[in-house]
Chains A and B, each alone.
Chain A
């Protein structure tokens, strides 16, 4: 049995319109774990993360959030999913993180203001408060997203490609923030294409290729032979797939 704060996946299949993007995945993310999700493009990584965040219901099996609601999860979307043209400045953007505590209509009090200011400072965006997000560079936008996560102050943090297309200095700063979350015993699950970074900062990794290739210690998961196997599996994806006959019932606990 798993402790409170864990996420349990029970023979989970996730996908869109019957077409599975993640097939028959079973495992547990313990509270306070740091899990890297790796795999080629089209392996179902983002789909899995949306499932873990409760944004996408499984089409088979089940996901159990032990002792918390998926609403308590902080989720960093891919940069491309954000409407950069929307007229909102950095201060308001980061303030969104307080919404879960103050509600849609509540006042942003002094305590929240202080928290927001601290978050902006710790990602190095002081002086950018009045800037529209559309004028930020890719790295600055990613910093702003991390600041919003800091304000959310959630025990479970999901990151979808947090380090895509940003420079080394920004990655270093953001990894430092992530290390802080680990020290605070928060659960961090991140989709990473930076395999060296995954090996360095994440003890556990899930190598995904629509089906789990390996879930365990990062060095074993990201071995050359397993990565090659993952690539082969995604390429072999069947265009004319028939109904899946595998057992859909969750495993007995």
Chain B
């Protein structure tokens, strides 16, 4: 019975296995980045960047149809351009990073949808907005895995630098000439993962798998070295149960994955050990000293 419910879909159908692998790769690399986005108070920047990818991907689509390299390239260029522009603006002008992000993302979304509708059908539009996690081909899977590998390697190597820059950017800048470049490198990683997420979950859902598990993990532990793997674990679990649920219910896979991640978030809000509602209302007995 349990086997049929939880395992059989993946044994019986290759597209389910592919979807699982793709979503797991996304979660493992994206969720730790989400933790840093939250700590940097850039939760909304992730949203804006994911929308900024859309016009670029749409131009790639206009030129070459639903082609992985063309849409990836277009998305990367557009995302990186916006990332560099916004963090340069924050770094060198009086504007704060979040100042123009709302405008950015609305304009980008409108532009992207307009560009796709220029040529494509509603099916293509749905693909762009909500992804196609159940139709990942070999090339896309390898692409997702490669981005996850690059991201995890970079995080492992630059963990201390990134944590330092997140906590005290002025200090990081003075401690090393490389300090100036940490925010840009970080945003580049975020854009990479958003482009990956774009293929699997679509532009509207990609940022969900990055932010929701990260927000949940923050509610369970204050230790950063625990938060990062916990976020990834919540992301992986959301992907798995989301796929299972979508398989049995017939609901669209991408949104269901995000819904499960959302459910995990609300559960964390209520039961989380650090900052959850229950803990705030009924704190443990205070310590002796």
Contacts and interface: CB of A to CB of B under 8 A. Distances in A.
A71 interface: yes
A99 B168 contact: no
Interface of A: 16-17, 53-55, 70-71, 73, 75, 77, 82-83, 86-88, 96, 99-100, 103-105, 132, 134
Nearest to B175: A99
B109 to A, nearest CB: 31
B176 A88 contact: no
Contact of B178 (A16, A53, A86, A104): A104
A105 B39 contact: no
Given A16-B94, A86-B167, A96-B168, A132 B222 contact: yes
Given A16-B94, A86-B39, A104 B170 contact: no
A17 B222 contact: no
A78 to B, nearest CB: 12
A104 B160 contact: yes
A104 B175 contact: yes
A86 B171 contact: no
Contacts of B94: 16-17
A87 B179 contact: no
17 contacts: A17-B94, A53-B174, A55-B174, A70-B174, A71-B177, A86-B166, A86-B167, A88-B163, A99-B176, A100-B175, A100-B176, A104-B161, A104-B164, A104-B182, A105-B157, A105-B160, A134-B222
A75 B157 CA distance: 27
Interface secondary structure of B, over-half rule: helix
A88 B162 CA distance: 13
Contact of A105 (B158, B167, B177, B224): B158
Given A86-B39, A132-B222, A75 B174 contact: yes
* Residue among B157, B166, B167, B172 with most chain A CB within 10 A: B167
B170 A77 contact: yes
B227 interface: yes
B4 interface: no
Contacts of A132: 222
A105 B163 CA distance: 12
- Interchain residue pairs A-B with the least CB separation, the first 10: A99-B175, A104-B161, A87-B224, A86-B167, A87-B222, A104-B176, A100-B175, A71-B174, A104-B178, A103-B176
A134 B39 CA distance: 14
B223 interface: yes
Interface string B141-185: 000000000000000011011011011101110111111001000
Given A17-B94, A105-B158, A87 B223 contact: yes
B158 A82 contact: no
Contacts of A54: 174
A99 B165 CA distance: 12
A28 B155 CA distance: 44
A17 B39 CA distance: 29
Contacts of B222: 87, 132, 134
A88 B174 CA distance: 19
Nearest to A70: B174
Nearest to B224: A87
Contacts of B177: 71
Nearest to B165: A104
B170 A88 contact: no
Contacts of A134: 222
Contacts of A82: 168
B176 A96 contact: no
* Residue among B168, B170, B174, B223 with most chain A CB within 10 A: B174
Nearest to B222: A87
Nearest to A81: B170
Contacts of A99: 164, 171-172, 175-176
Given A86-B166, A103-B178, 14 more contacts: A54-B174, A77-B170, A83-B168, A87-B39, A87-B222, A87-B224, A88-B167, A96-B168, A99-B171, A104-B175, A104-B176, A104-B178, A104-B179, A105-B161
A75 B175 CA distance: 11
A70 B160 CA distance: 23
Contacts of B178: 103-104
Interface string B224-246: 10010000000000000000000
A67 B171 CA distance: 21
Interface in B202-228: 222-224, 227
Contact of B158 (A55, A75, A96, A104): A104
Nearest to B227: A87
A189 B280 CA distance: 43
Nearest to A108: B160
A220 B215 CA distance: 56
A103 B178 CA distance: 9
Nearest to B161: A104
Contacts of A87: 39, 222-224, 227
